[in-house]
Amino acid sequence: MSEAVNQSGASGVYNCRWRDLARLAAGWRGLLARSLLARPLWAGPLLAHAWPASCLVCGSDGGPSAQASGGLAGLCPACAPALPWNRHACRHCALPLPASAAGTVCGRCLRRPPPLDACHAAFVYRFPLDRLLPRAKFHDDLAAGRGLGEWMAAAFAPVLACGRPDALVPVPLHRERLRRRGYDQALELARPLAAGLGLPLDDGLLRRVRATGPQSRLDAAGRRRNLRAAFAVDAARACPRHVVLVDDVMTTGATLHAAARALRRAGVARVDAWVCARVP
Ligand SMILES: [Zn+2]
Ligand SMILES: [Zn+2]
């Protein structure tokens, strides 16, 4: 019976809102519960400035400071040097390359040029990113998201020498998935990234207009098909000239490419992508 009510008119909308509020409350309850029970998770964004933080990777005490960890907040001095920075990579898809080939274009991008002018990944997707990113994405760990966004800012600051973008645009979730999850992990990364670099954040320009199935079990061609017509640009908005898409993980790049094509169709002249971690 409640299903019938949910699917009809104003009552459905009303119930959806209550469901959203209940999920939001559950998310915050979970965050607060973990804040008391699980040490690496208790430094939520609202609490980080009030309480000393523990290391996001190993959970050790001692109030890790940015100064002690090479400018990276939320890391102890032992974990900071072990981060797998993606220092040498293809400039169009961020695929890790040997140091001698850094800044060149990989064979795949030469054969099939992607719709991105440039693509940068802060890290290679391996430990501890393979723990931190799922925590930020699926387990409401907003402290991990904030830390990762700040480390991305450190990684991408030198990229600004090649031109400051007009807007950072997080790759959006479809509204149904956003309702289920309660937050958008790309936006949670983009917020501290934009603040750290002093760049405008625009999370309203691009919309995900088609709910797509999970990409993880599809091959490259299947991922492209899955994302056809998935994104649209708000036609009422003035398009920035230079946009940087922000996302958490890049595997084949199908999601970023679909988003970039939508932005280009809308008139954006230059589209880059900055991702937290690249799957090699
Ligand atoms: Zn540590
Ligand atoms: Zn490439």
pTM beyond cutoff 0.85: no
Euclidean distance between CA atoms 204 and 69, whole angstroms: 35
Q: How far is the CA of 129 from the centre of ligand 2 (A)?
A: 21
Quick one: which ligand is closest to 91's CA? 2
Residue 210 tokens, joined:
């088609």
Helices (H), 52-203: 107-111, 129-138, 142-156, 175-181, 185-197
**Ligand 2 mean position, distance from CA 190 (Å):** 23
pLDDT of 236 reads 84
Q: To which H or E segment does residue 20 belong?
A: helix 9-37
Q: 173, 208 in Cβ contact below 8 A?
A: yes
Distance 167 CA to ligand 2 centre (A): 24
Q: What residues are neighbours of ligand 1 (ion), with CB under 5 Å?
A: 55, 57-58, 76, 79
CA 275 to centroid of ligand 2, rounded, Å: 14
Residue 120: strand, helix, or coil: strand
**Neighbour count for residue 11 (Cβ, 10 Å):** 13
The 10 Å Cβ neighbour count of residue 62 is: 12
Q: Is the pLDDT of residue 280 over 70?
A: yes
Q: With the CA atoms of 257, 261, 262 and 265 taken in that order, what torsion angle do they form, in degrees rounded to the nearest 10?
A: 170
Closest CA to 276 of 167, 147, 102, 159: 147
C-alpha gyration radius of the chain: 19
Indicate which ligand has the atom closest to the C-alpha of 107: 2
Distance 92 CA to ligand 2 centre (A): 5
Residues surrounding ion ligand 2 at CB below 5 Å: 90, 92-93, 95, 106, 109
Of 19-23, 118-122, 189-193, 202-206, least confident by mean pLDDT is 19-23
Tokens linked to 134: 């799922």
**Per-residue model confidence as pLDDT tens digits over 162-210:** 889 999 999 998 888 888 887 889 999 999 999 999 999 999 999 998 8
Report whether 233 contacts 262 (CB < 8 A): yes
Q: How many CB atoms lie within 10 A of CB 212?
A: 18
Ligand at minimal distance from the CA of 74 is 1
Q: Is the dihedral of CA 108, 164, 143, 211 positive or negative?
A: negative
Tens of pLDDT, residue by residue over 82-97, are 999 999 999 999 999 9
Tell how far the Cα of 141 is from the centroid of ligand 2, in angstroms. Answer: 31
Q: Measured in angstroms, how far is the CA atom of residue 253 from the centroid of ligand 2?
A: 10
Which numbered ligand comes closest to the C-alpha of 64?
1
Q: For all residues of the chain together, what is the average pLDDT? A: 79
